Amino acid sequence: MLLLAAAAFIGSQQCRPCHETVFDAYAKTPMAQSSGRAESIAPASFTAAGHRYQIANNRLIFDGGSAPMDYFIGSNAAGRSFIREREGYLFELPVTWYAQKQSWDASPGYEDHKDVHLTRAVEASCLQCHASRVRPVLGTQNRFGNPPFLENGVACERCHGPGSEHVKDPSKSPMVNPARLDPERRDAVCSQCHLTGEARIERPGRKFAEYRPGDRLSDYATYFVSKMGRRDLKVTSHVEKLAASACKTAAGDALWCGTCHDPHSNADKSQPACLGCHATAHHQQDRCVTCHMPRSQAVDANHGVMTDHSIPKKPSRESQPTLESLTPFLGSGDDRALGLAYAELGDKRAAEYLSRAVPQDWPVQLRLAVLQPDPVRAAQLYESVLRANPYEPAALVNLGTHLARQGRTLEAGRLWDRALLTNPALEEAVLNLTQIRPPKDSRLLLQKYLEINPVSRKALSRLAELPKSQ
């Protein structure tokens, strides 16, 4: 066990010499191909969310500018989104290819944007589910090493743990085999990526990124679902849905993702699985899942269709209320976790829980600061956030604004500069700086920002207002 703790991630290629069959089968699965460098994207011309786009030479072209399409996320089993890189900072592009419809459209969450939206930061959490050996740069929101991840897609070691010791001596240093773990640790291997619930809140001082196969997920985070349950499907709702099924409720730990899925080959083992437990069921000659696991629209991936893992008797069409009270699905729902979860969902109940939260660490202070009506008290909270996390972008921007209002522009400027190091596309920080810096510096700041976001109306009009002469 000590050996395992010291082991490092070495990459799937290293497993191939001894596990060739598994390696070759796995390489063809959507999970293995879930991310990579974007190459030779077919030219296209289309409208999405009211904006006209063209794709040519791996660039996305729109009225007012263009952006490179550097990396993709999504194997194309359902769809593919794109990321542009600029000086190591990653941003999600506003269009996605939807495989079922065979067409381009707005990326999930971009449907209602009035302007072409180019500044959505790709944070490490996004890549941690879709890529492996991700290399975020500390002290930034969305900067990564070059390349941003060392391995495309979901690597062997994401389910089996780091392999450096095993490859040296397989018999002395076994890998984690999920199927042999106790049910909680077994399920965690898939849940690390397939479960989000309504909100997932890291425990104080814990990071998802440090989860290793064999660990308990509840040691890292609390996952909340809505008490009423929701019938609409999210792309990461398979775990909750299965948990709600009569099969799982009755069969318990015997039923897990691996009962119906072979993660190495993506083979669908569901028919023998159903019959294994329902030996005397009706319709033995038909595919059970056509009636009992119907496919329907997912709410968070437009045009996506997903399989209903609640295995209902009859498909139901009624729509569900969205947010009732939150209830922990995995992990402990203490005041801190509940407060942070409600805050993330923009729900008023956040304030009460947060005020009672223990510990009052920086994530709590940050949420409290945003909710705090008294600016002086809010500034104190931001200051204490920055003592614990000197690069928290919202705290940097908002504390800067507070100081600038008191005429402390030098200090404010320093905070905004720092905010731009964490993420150069924080428009508010750029615009604020142009209020306090000489025109020449302001012009440079705006030009730099416009290279990322050439359609920003505010930045363009600020640039036009600046005095022309040097």
Could you say which residues in the range 68-97 bind ligand HEC, by CB under 6 A?
A: 73-81, 92, 96
Interface region with ligand HEC, contact rule CB under 6 A, candidates 47-55, 276-284, 371-379, 458-466: 276-284
One-character DSSP codes across 89-101: EEEEEEEEEETTT
Stretch that binds ligand HEC, among 188-196, 326-334, 339-347, 414-422 (CB under 6 A): 188-196
Residues 148-177 that bind ligand HEC (CB under 6 A): 154, 156-160, 163, 166-167, 170-171, 174-175, 177
Cβ proximity to ligand HEC, 150 vs 235, nearer residue: 235
Q: Which is nearer to ligand HEC, 132 or 442 (CB)?
A: 132
Q: Are 270 and 291 in contact (CB under 8 A)?
A: no
- DSSP label at residue 208: G
Minimum CB separation from ligand HEC for residue 84, in Å?
12
Closest approach of ligand HEC to the CB of residue 435, in Å: 32
- Which residue in 93, 190, 379, 425 binds ligand HEC (CB under 6 A)? 190
Radius of gyration of the chain (CA): 24
Q: Which is nearer to ligand HEC, 159 or 415 (CB)?
A: 159
Residue 298 bridge partners (DSSP): 233
Q: Segment 415-454, which members bind ligand HEC (CB under 6 A)? A: none
Number of residues binding to ligand HEC, judged by CB under 6 A:
96
CA torsion angle for 138, 144, 147, 153 (degrees, to 10)? 100
Q: Select the span of 49-57, 63-71, 256-264, 366-374 touching ligand HEC (CB under 6 A).
A: 256-264
The 10 Å CB-count burial string (b at 16+, else e) for 198-225 is: bbbbbbbeeebeebbbbbebbebbbbbb
CA atoms within 13 A on the CB side of 238: 19
Longest CA–CA separation in the chain, Å: 86
Spatial distance between the Cα atoms of 122 and 257, rounded to a whole number of angstroms: 28
Which 20-49 positions form the footprint of ligand HEC (CB under 6 A)?
Answer: 22-23, 26, 30-31, 34
Minimum distance from residue 276 beta carbon to ligand HEC (Å): 6
Of residues 196 through 255, those in contact with ligand HEC by CB under 6 A are 196, 235-236, 238-239, 242, 246-247, 250-251, 254-255
Please give the angle made by the CA atoms of 380, 386 and 390, to the nearest 5 degrees. Answer: 165
